[in-house]
Copies of this chain bind each other. A is one copy, B any other.
């Protein structure tokens, strides 16, 4: 067991603080924001994630409902469901839980959600505004990384942030958000040569690949801030992309579990409030 030199960046503490803030703000609204989850089938991970978000919604005073469509639903029915939610004036936010079953095409589904209700921030218009500086809804996991840093008073201005992983949900939008905070940003990935030397340049390291223990102590600059987003099931444990020995090198680090995932959930509700306030003026 490596000595825990690094300070723990608790996701729970951040999620609790966000919950308190949202509860207070939502309590002052003249309406109750409404969030609808669309879940297709009974994939256990999807059931778990939607339930976590629904529980957090309840906690902060958002009216949340989960629509469950059968595993074999066809694309047209799913698209019609989204069109109805877009048209429903009472609904502020729509989140289609991914991944969808293999016979469904996620691209048109994500493009069908009204960008103003798209609290996952995956609609191309929101992606485009995120990169162009418009009023985007930004993806929740990267938003959560900023919330963790802000909560702990850690500033990335002028620092070098190395993001490992280039997914649409985490790596790429995280790059946009860290650039907007004036960090120097590197995006590394599976094709990167000499990943160790690239990651060692990072004052901040975001690990978002989904390969258990990919980032080890030899790859991390002493004192760096390490944010672990990866999640891999190993036996009956969920482990991150960051190996345990990094606790002995990093300056600050998120635990797994109890780290970035909790804050992602909180950001879904923060985006719901943002969407509701913008939509209802």
Which residues does A use to contact B, with CB under 8 Å?
107, 122-129, 131-134, 157-160, 166, 168, 172, 175-176, 179, 182-189, 191-193, 198, 201
Contacting A191 at CB < 8 Å: which of B128, B182, B186, B191? B182
Q: Which one of B132, B158, B175 lies within 8 Å of A193 (CB-CB)?
A: B158
CA distance A158 to B188 in the complex (A): 9
Task: Point out the residue from B134, B182, B189, B201 that lies within 8 Å of A124, measured CB to CB.
Answer: B134
A166 to B131, CA, bound (A): 10
Shortest CB-to-CB span from A25 to chain B, Å, is 28
- Which residue of chain B is the closest to A185 with respect to CB atoms? B187
Contacts of A107 in B (CB 8 A): 134
Return chain B residues, CB-CB under 8 Å to A122. Answer: 132
Select from chain B the residue with minimum beta-carbon distance to A126. B128
Docked CA distance A132–B109 (Å) = 14
In contact, B175 and A198 (Cβ under 8 angstroms): no
User: 10 other contacts beyond A128-B129, A158-B192, with CB at 8 A cut-off?
Assistant: A124-B129, A158-B191, A160-B192, A160-B193, A182-B189, A183-B191, A184-B186, A186-B187, A198-B201, A201-B201
Copies in the complex: 2
Chain B residues within 8 Å of A159, by CB? 193
CA distance A129 to B168 in the complex (A): 11
Q: A126-B128, A132-B124, A134-B107 are in contact. Are A189 and B193 (CB under 8 A)?
A: no
Task: Give Cα distance in the complex from A129 to B132, angstroms.
Answer: 13
| A217–chain B nearest beta-carbon distance, Å | 21
Q: Which of B125, B133, B184 contacts A192 (CB 8 A)?
A: B184
Q: How far is the CA of A168 from the CA of B176 in the complex (A)?
A: 11
CB-CB < 8 A to A198: which residues of B? 160, 184, 201
Residues of B within 8 A of A128 (CB): 123-129, 131
Name A168's closest neighbour in chain B (CB-CB).
Answer: B132
Chain B residues near A166 (CB, 8 Å)?
Answer: 179
Name A187's contact: one of B129, B133, B175 (CB within 8 Å). B175
A132 contacts which chain B residues (CB < 8 A)? 122, 124, 127, 168
- A172 touching B131 in the complex, CB below 8 Å, given contacts A157-B191, A158-B191, A160-B198: yes
